[in-house]
């Protein structure tokens, strides 16, 4: 294996042309997989020195452009503002542990695309889009089109996640993130991200290979539980040693209700 | 003697704490020797298969490979603690996925790993046996066709896949039940828990020019490892030396040996030092677990709550090799009566072989499984009788002078006080605010355990300057025995603890000690230290009497290393005593005390005991736990909010160390109760081989308050009254939490761990 | 054999040469190349926290950090905590309060608490628990570790 640390995106794109090359962002998932023998790339392209991948820029509409190398800790520390960014910050606060949040990045996390991770749900609910760069140029993809399957994204060979664009969300809307896990800092059994104002946009994680996005108009408790039940009925959750598919379907409606209630206390 | 100088009863910082806080403490993986090779293990991909042959050419051809060992190289008999049914690498058959099949030593870890992967083994797969039911099914494939020919130190098994069977019976169970007004009956299931000591197993085997081997090992007994490696390598024990490194946690998981012989074999073959440190994944795959168990239990009482009868059947899943299954089963049976006066009890049990990781010794040793069932059933009985569960416990609790199950006399017993203290503490605590969507419950468990077992020894010497050299074979695995034993020694001589040195464990020089296990270090080795020190003191006083020309009875120890004449300022220092003995008369002053547990054993007139794997155990210790939990009724998630743990350490030599043991044991019990489970798939592959899959509680998963309560009731058989609290603290967590969940929701969970899904299923099943 | 890369790392204020394969982690480099064995390998997949070090003053898992990717970032290990062989206030608090048992998690705990106290000399119990949330301890039940940190915070008040 070799390691290169380009300082520009152009160099990075060239370095990625090598056989079996992979980007190294924060390394918090990739290096663990390498240590466990689950990944053995021939080349690592370190993204740490590429300035354009860093930093969070506030857009005039209250939304954010989040550089791909922004860490979970940086996102977690964002001042509460519009609902979209607030949702990302809430999700970032419950990713793993302090040391992982200090160096793990949003770009690395979403490119890894663990279906039980915290960002994918938050990004879908927030209506975020993913900015993807390559030698061919830059394209932007809605988060719901970016996550394709179990550890699978729309990234083509040679492409790098360069940024995440998070819209502010509807005026007056608020955000909440509900996560059920076996222990603190673990991946979710089921998670629900919600942005709710007069209506709600929710995304459910842990219940299939990619997050499930729904728009809800009726925010009464009964309607939310009913909506949760239909999402559950249509979902295809995994069964593993943490929980069965049936259990995930069973708890989804109440977690959905709590997430929306957390964002919007009065129906 | 001034009270302020007593070493006993002081929460002295541990002797090794500063080294550990600064990273200086040397653990097994920190050991390096010149020219050291690195070992890697080739493990079985099959749960059950016959080995037809090995192809080693590809591995041998890799540059840097210095030695390879397979089962074909082993000629001697099988090894093992109690039933000699295993070998350091598989021979003839593999019996679990991950079982060591071959091992390689090479110049660096990567080369060793590549070479291990290049070993080819020809297997004939056999049908795996993956559960208790599968093991006991008629016509089940046999794991150990050669069981009858194995060397055994206990008898009582061997038909089909049964490793061992045992029965303990007192009174007449059928007649007892006939007199009961209320009878409850249920079955409980518990899982395989892994020790997850933060330091994985490992060792370095060095070899001298004569071929004598020195092992540096993280372990719970240098003497045990020495014996096992000598047996496995066919060497006399004099040719094997074992030195303990600092130990990064044990909990029973480093109490027996299996990888040390591999390192020693490779070092002997390569004539170079070999390091073998397991990865976390391999440690999960090839070490040990707590026994999964199924406990059926039936208990009956009179309307007034007097418990008259209990019938118990315990089946434990021992995995592929017997290891500690016989004594774990026997101890589970002995603990299954609970700490209660029940006149008619029958406990029957079996341990079975399955094609999974061997189960072995783990903090609690069968008691957590038995007590989860027993203490849950006490609450169910109380509910059926319409009585308060705490009152039911108090009514039936053992008292001083009662007998334990099996007939052993118990002179001291503070069980009732423990129960009353945790109840009072919980009631006095300011109530926590209720939380929306969560139901609050309070649960209790009453506990007993033993402290003792087997043999140990200590030696003390007076040095030239009057300071003391203490040596025992007791390895401190984190519980603090180094400090506690030094405190006992220093206290007996009225010197500050820095005047006593404590020798690291080395099989060449340490007095014999069985193991750091059985909550025995403070009780057993502590007794030996106290009595050896008393003998040393007597010899010193005899010298001092000669020196001051007075009778020994007129002498007293004075703080700081002086022997004084009672009522007079006249004194001689320990140094003067030492110098006289070394250079004038008498010779060096030293003392050794060794013994084997000699307390009361079972009473054959009272109890019918068949196949019990030990003759007598130790002294009994008692405790009680109380927990408050919040249960999320929509998800089944359980959060332990506060806990009170009352225990009887006899006499707390180092109260902070006792409290640390209690809090740590309780949290390991929370993991057992709520989050930790080893999981095997249908092919027998362990799927929880990382800490991302096997969930150990972190600080945020633990209650903000775990309040230890020390109820000191000095044990009459110990010179300073102490006994162990290392294991009992784990035992109460699961039943207390299950009882609190039932109190909160009315739902009874009878399977561990109480994953949210299982709690929710129990809530659903309420109606 | 894997080709080796040469890196220059700044560890506890000293510049150290490391020659290791590109796949080597900072933990490999510390323990196997530089002989700094105070940083412990508990799981090697980022969960246990025994290998926690400071990277530019922030907590980092040495096992999840590639040695070659460290670059100019300053590394502080347990060997760099406390001066002149003495104990730092965090270390002293843990030692004196009985918060150390087997000790294998302790270097990581010391680093985690050192980072916390550098940010906030008077953390409350919630902040202390949060700072320790990535460090598994199998011996103590965390109670005495948290209490030791609370005592240290109390001294600063």
* Per-residue model confidence (pLDDT) at position C12: 97
Overall average pLDDT of the B309-335 stretch: 97
Does B634 reach chain A within 8 Å, measured CB to CB? yes
Which domain, by its residues, includes C99?
89-156
Residue B408 and residue B617 in contact, taking contact as beta carbons nearer than 8 Å = yes
Give yes or no for residue B487 having a pLDDT over 80: yes
| pLDDT above 60 for B270 | yes
Cβ atoms of B290 and B368 within 8 Å: the answer is yes
Q: What is the pLDDT of residues C77-133, one digit of tens each?
A: 999 998 776 999 999 999 999 999 999 999 999 999 999 999 999 999 999 999 999
Q: Do C112 and A98 touch (CB under 8 A)?
A: yes
Tokens of B494: 């009225």
On whether both C72 and C120 belong to a single domain, the answer is no
pLDDT the model gives residue A221: 95
User: How far apart are the C-alpha atoms of B163 and B135, rounded to whole Å?
Assistant: 11
Q: Cβ contact (<8 Å) for C66 and A3? A: yes
- The domain that holds C61 is classified in CATH as 3.10.20.30
Name the residue with tokens 């994953």: B755
Domain count for chain C: 2
Over residues B427-440, the mean pLDDT reads 95
Tell whether A100 is covered by a domain.
no
pLDDT at B767: 65
Are A243 and B697 an interchain contact pair (Cβ–Cβ within 8 Å)?
no
Between the alpha carbon of residue B65 and those of residues B36, B58, B238, the distances in Å are 12, 11, 29
- Residues in B closer than 8 angstroms to C136, CB to CB, are 196, 198, 691, 696, 698
Strands B213-217, B293-301: pairing kind: unpaired
Positions of E strands within chain A: 2-4, 21-24, 43-46, 56-58, 64-67, 129-134, 137-142, 147-149, 152-153, 160-166, 174-180, 190-196, 200-205, 212-216
Q: Are residues C18 and C66 in the same domain?
A: yes
Q: Which residue, C60, C80, C100, sits at the end of a domain?
A: C80
Give A-chain residues touching B692 at CB under 8 angstroms.
Answer: 32, 186-187
CA distance C77 to chain A (A): 14
| The residue count for chain A | 267
Give, in order, the Cα–Cα distances in Å from B467 to each of B73, B173, C9: 50, 59, 46
Q: Point out the domain boundary residue: C41, C58, C80.
A: C80
Six-digit token string for B363: 């903090």
What CATH number did the domain enclosing C119 receive?
A: 1.10.150.120
pLDDT of C2 reads 67
CA dist., res. C32 & res. B222, Å (int): 27
Residue B4 reports pLDDT greater than 60:
no
On the question of pLDDT at B1 being above 50, the answer is: no
- Residue B6 confidence class, pLDDT cut points 50, 70, 90: confident
Shortest Cα distance, chain A CAs vs residue B681, angstroms: 10
Query: Tokens at residue B388, please?
Result: 């308060």
Q: Most distant CA pair in chain A: distance in Å?
A: 56
Return the pLDDT at A82.
93
- Assess contact for C9 and C15: CB atoms under 8 A: yes
Q: Would you tell me which residues 96-135 of chain C have a C-beta closer than 8 angstroms to some C-beta of chain B?
A: 96-107, 110, 125, 129-130, 132-135
Are C8 and C75 part of one and the same domain?
A: yes
Domains parsed from chain B with CATH numbers: 3-24+454-596 (3.30.365.10), 31-126+201-277 (3.90.1170.50), 293-452+601-764 (3.30.365.10)
Instruction: DSSP for B138-149, please give it.
Output: TTPPPS-TTGGG
Confidence of residue C156 (pLDDT cuts 50, 70, 90): confident
**Do residue C70 and residue C118 come from a single domain?**
no
Residues of B in contact with A182 (CB under 8 A): 675, 695, 755-756
**pLDDT category, B613, cuts 50, 70, 90?**
low
Helix (H, G, I), strand (E, B) or coil at B157: coil
Tell me: do C53 and C93 sit in the same domain.
no
Residues C136, C144: Cα–Cα separation, whole Å: 14
Q: Is A87 part of any domain?
A: no
Q: Let me know whether C69 and C11 are in one domain.
A: yes
**pLDDT tens-digit series, residues B625-645:** 999 999 999 999 999 999 999
Judged by average pLDDT, the poorest of A110-114, B199-203, B601-605 is: B601-605
Partner-chain contact A183 B675, CB within 8 Å: yes
Instruction: Give whole-number Cα distances, B517 to A198, B452, B622, B742, in Å.
Output: 63, 9, 18, 33
Looking at the fold, whether C11 and C74 belong to one and the same domain comes out as yes
Residues C28 and C50 occupy one common structural domain = yes
Is the link from the previous residue into B753 a cis peptide, with omega within 30 of 0? Answer: yes
Q: Give the residue among A110, A114, A260, A94 at the shortest CA–CA distance from A193.
A: A260
Phi and psi of B20, rounded to 5°?
-70, -35
Indicate the residue among C33, C51, C80 that finishes a domain. C80
- Same domain as C66, residue C124: no
Q: Which of B708, B630, B646, B697 is nearest to B670 (CA)?
A: B697
Q: What is the DSSP letter of B71?
A: G
The predicted pLDDT at position A176 comes to 96
Distance from CA of C9 to the nearest CA of A (A): 15
- pLDDT reading at B2 higher than 50: no
Picking from A184, A126, A162, the residue whose alpha carbon sits closest to that of residue A50 is: A162
For residue B215, the surrounding DSSP H or E stretch is: strand B213-217
Q: Cβ of A28 and C55 within 8 Å?
A: no
| A247 lies within 8 A of chain C by CB | no
Could you say which DSSP state residue A189 is in? Answer: S
Q: Which chain A residues are Cβ-neighbours of C55 within 8 angstroms?
A: 102-103
Same domain (yes/no): C9, C70: yes
Within-domain flag for A231: yes
CA–CA distance, B706 with B664 (Å, rounded to integer): 10
Instruction: Give the model's pLDDT for residue B610.
Output: 81
**How is A111-175 classified by DSSP, letter by letter?**
HHT-TT-SHHHHHHHHT-EEEEEETTEEEEEEHHHHEEETTEESPPTT-EEEEEEE---STT-EE
Here the contacts of B151-154 (C-beta below 8 Å, separation 24 or greater) are B151/B77, B151/B78, B151/B83, B151/B84, B152/B82, B152/B83, B152/B84, B153/B82, B153/B83, B154/B82, B154/B83, B154/B326, B154/B611, B154/B613
Query: Is it the case that residue B191 has pLDDT exceeding 50?
Result: yes
Q: Residue A212 and residue A234: Cα distance in Å, rounded?
A: 10
CATH number, position A210:
3.30.390.50
Instruction: Output the furthest CA–CA distance in chain B (Å, rounded).
Output: 86
Query: Under DSSP, is residue B550 helix (H, G, I), strand (E, B) or coil?
Result: coil
Number of domains in chain A: 1
Domain containing residue A178 = 174-263
Does A183 sit within 8 Å of B698, measured CB to CB?
Answer: yes
Taking contacts as CB-CB distances below 8 angstroms, the residues of chain A near C69 are 3, 5, 24, 27, 44, 46, 48
Q: What pLDDT, in 10s, does the model give residues B378-428?
A: 999 999 999 999 999 999 999 999 999 999 999 889 999 999 999 999 999
Residues C48 and C104 in one domain: no
Q: What is the mean pLDDT of chain B?
A: 95
pLDDT under 50 in chain A at which residues?
none
């Amino acid at each position: 294996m070799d390691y290169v640390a380009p300082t520009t995106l152009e160099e990075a794109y060239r370095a990625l042309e090598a056989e079996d090359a992979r980007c190294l962002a924060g390394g918090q998932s990739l290096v663990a997989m390498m240590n466990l023998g689950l990944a053995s790339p021939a080349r690592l392209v370190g993204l740490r020195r590429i300035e354009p991948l860093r930093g969070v820029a506030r857009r005039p509409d209250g939304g954010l452009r989040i550089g791909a190398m922004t860490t979970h800790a940086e996102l977690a520390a964002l001042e509460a503002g519009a609902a979209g960014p607030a949702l990302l910050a809430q999700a970032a606060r419950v990713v793993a542990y302090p040391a992982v949040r200090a160096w793990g990045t949003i770009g690395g996390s979403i490119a890894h695309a663990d279906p039980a991770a915290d960002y994918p749900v938050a990004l879908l609910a927030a209506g975020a889009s993913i900015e993807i760069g390559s030698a061919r140029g830059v394209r932007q993809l809605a988060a719901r089109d970016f996550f394709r399957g179990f550890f699978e994204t729309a990234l083509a060979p040679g492409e790098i996640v360069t940024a995440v664009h998070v819209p502010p969300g509807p005026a007056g809307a608020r955000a909440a993130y509900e996560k059920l896990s076996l222990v603190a800092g673990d991946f979710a059994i089921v998670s629900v991200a919600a942005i709710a104002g007069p209506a709600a946009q929710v995304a459910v994680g842990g219940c299939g290979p990619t997050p499930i996005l729904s728009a809800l108009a009726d925010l009464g408790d009964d309607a939310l539980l009913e909506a949760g039940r239909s999402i559950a009925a249509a979902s295809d959750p995994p069964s593993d040693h943490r929980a069965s598919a049936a259990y995930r379907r069973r708890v989804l409606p109440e977690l959905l209700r709590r997430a929306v209630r957390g964002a919007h206390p009065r129906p | 003697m001034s009270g302020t100088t007593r070493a006993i009863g002081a929460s002295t910082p541990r002797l090794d704490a500063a080294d550990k806080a600064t990273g200086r403490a040397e653990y097994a993986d920190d050991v390096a020797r010149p020219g050291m090779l690195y070992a890697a293990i080739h493990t079985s991909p099959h749960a059950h298969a016959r080995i037809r042959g090995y192809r080693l050419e590809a591995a041998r051809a890799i540059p840097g490979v210095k030695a390879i060992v397979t089962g074909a190289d082993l000629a001697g008999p099988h090894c093992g603690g109690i039933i000699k049914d295993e070998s350091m690498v598989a021979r003839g058959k593999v019996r679990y996925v991950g079982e060591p099949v071959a091992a390689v030593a090479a110049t660096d870890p990567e080369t060793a790993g590549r070479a291990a992967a290049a070993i080819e083994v020809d297997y004939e797969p056999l049908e795996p046996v993956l559960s208790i039911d599968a093991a006991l099914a008629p016509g089940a494939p046999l794991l150990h066709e050669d069981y009858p020919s194995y060397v055994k130190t206990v008898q009582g098994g061997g038909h089909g896949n049964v490793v061992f069977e045992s029965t303990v019976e007192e009174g007449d169970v059928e007649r007892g039940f006939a007199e009961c007004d209320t009878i409850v009956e249920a079955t409980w299931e518990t899982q395989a828990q892994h020790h997850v000591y933060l330091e994985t197993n490992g060792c370095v085997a060095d070899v001298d020019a004569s071929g004598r081997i020195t092992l540096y090992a993280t372990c719970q007994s240098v003497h045990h490892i020495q014996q096992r490696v000598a047996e496995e390598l066919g060497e006399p024990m004099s040719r094997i030396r074992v030195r303990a490194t600092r130990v990064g946690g044990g909990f029973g998981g480093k109490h027996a040996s299996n990888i040390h012989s591999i390192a020693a074999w490779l070092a002997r073959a390569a004539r170079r030092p070999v390091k073998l440190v397991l990865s976390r994944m391999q440690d999960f795959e090839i070490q040990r677990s707590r026994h999964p168990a199924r406990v059926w239990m039936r208990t009956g009482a009179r309307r007034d709550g007097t418990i008259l009868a209990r019938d118990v059947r315990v089946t434990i899943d021992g995995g592929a090799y017997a290891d500690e299954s016989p004594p774990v089963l026997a101890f589970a049976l002995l603990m299954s009566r609970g700490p209660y006066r029940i006149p008619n009890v029958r406990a029957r049990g079996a341990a079975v072989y399955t094609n999974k990781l061997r189960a072995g010794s783990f903090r609690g040793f069968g008691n957590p499984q038995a007590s989860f069932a027993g203490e849950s059933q006490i609450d169910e009985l109380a509910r059926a009788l319409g009585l308060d569960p705490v009152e039911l416990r108090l009514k039936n609790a053992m008292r001083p002078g009662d007998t334990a199950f099996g007939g052993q006399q118990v002179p001291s017993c503070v069980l009732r006080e423990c129960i009353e203290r945790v109840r009072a503490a919980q009631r006095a605590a300011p109530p926590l605010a209720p939380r929306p969507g969560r139901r609050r419950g309070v649960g209790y468990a009453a506990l007993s355990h033993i402290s003792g077992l087997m043999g140990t020894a200590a030696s003390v010497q007076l040095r030239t300057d009057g300071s003391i050299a203490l040596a025992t074979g007791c390895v401190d695995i984190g519980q603090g025995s180094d400090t506690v034993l030094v405190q006992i020694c220093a206290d007996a001589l009225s010197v500050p603890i820095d005047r006593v040195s404590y020798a690291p464990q080395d099989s060449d020089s340490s007095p014999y000690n069985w193991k750091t296990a059985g909550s025995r270090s403070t009780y057993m080795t502590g007794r030996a230290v106290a009595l050896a020190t008393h003998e040393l003191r007597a010899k010193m006083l005899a010298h001092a009497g000669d020196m001051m020309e007075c009778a020994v009875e007129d002498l007293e120890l004075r703080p700081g290393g002086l022997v004084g004449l009672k009522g007079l300022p006249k004194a001689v220092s320990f140094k003067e005593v030492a110098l006289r003995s070394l250079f004038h008369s008498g010779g060096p002053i030293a003392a050794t005390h060794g013994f084997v547990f000699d307390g009361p054993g079972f009473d054959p007139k009272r109890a019918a005991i068949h196949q019990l794997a030990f003759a007598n155990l130790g002294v009994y210790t008692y405790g009680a736990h109380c927990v408050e939990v919040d249960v999320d009724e929509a998800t089944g998630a359980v959060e332990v909010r506060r806990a009170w743990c009352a225990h009887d350490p006899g006499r707390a030599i180092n109260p902070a160390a006792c409290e640390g043991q209690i809090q740590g044991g309780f949290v390991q019990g929370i993991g057992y109760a709520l989050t930790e489970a080893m999981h095997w798939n249908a092919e027998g592959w362990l799927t929880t081989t990382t800490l991302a899959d096997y969930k150990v509680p972190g600080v945020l998963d633990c209650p903000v308050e775990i309040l230890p309560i020390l109820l000191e009731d000095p044990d009459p058989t110990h010179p300073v009254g102490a006994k162990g609290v290392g294991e009992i603290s784990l035992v109460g967590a699961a039943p207390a939490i299950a009882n609190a969940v039932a109190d909160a929701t009315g739902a009874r969970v009878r399977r561990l761990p109480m994953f949210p899904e299982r709690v929710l299923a129990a809530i659903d099943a309420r109606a | 054999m894997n080709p080796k890369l040469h890196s220059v790392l700044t560890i506890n204020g000293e510049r150290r040469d490391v020659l290791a394969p590109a796949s080597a982690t900072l933990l490999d480099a510390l323990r196997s190349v530089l002989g700094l064995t105070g940083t412990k390998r508990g799981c090697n997949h980022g969960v246990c926290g025994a290998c926690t070090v400071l990277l530019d003053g922030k907590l980092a898992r040495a096992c999840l950090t590639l040695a070659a990717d460290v670059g100019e970032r300053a590394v502080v290990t347990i060997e760099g905590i406390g001066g002149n062989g003495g104990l730092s206030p965090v270390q002293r608090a843990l030692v004196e309060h009985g918060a150390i048992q087997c000790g294998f998690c302790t270097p990581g705990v010391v680093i985690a608490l050192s980072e916390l106290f550098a940010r906030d000399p008077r953390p409350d119990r919630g902040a202390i628990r949060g700072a320790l949330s990535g460090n598994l301890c199998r011996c103590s039940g965390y109670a005495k570790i948290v209490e030791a940190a609370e005592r240290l915070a109390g001294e600063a008040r």
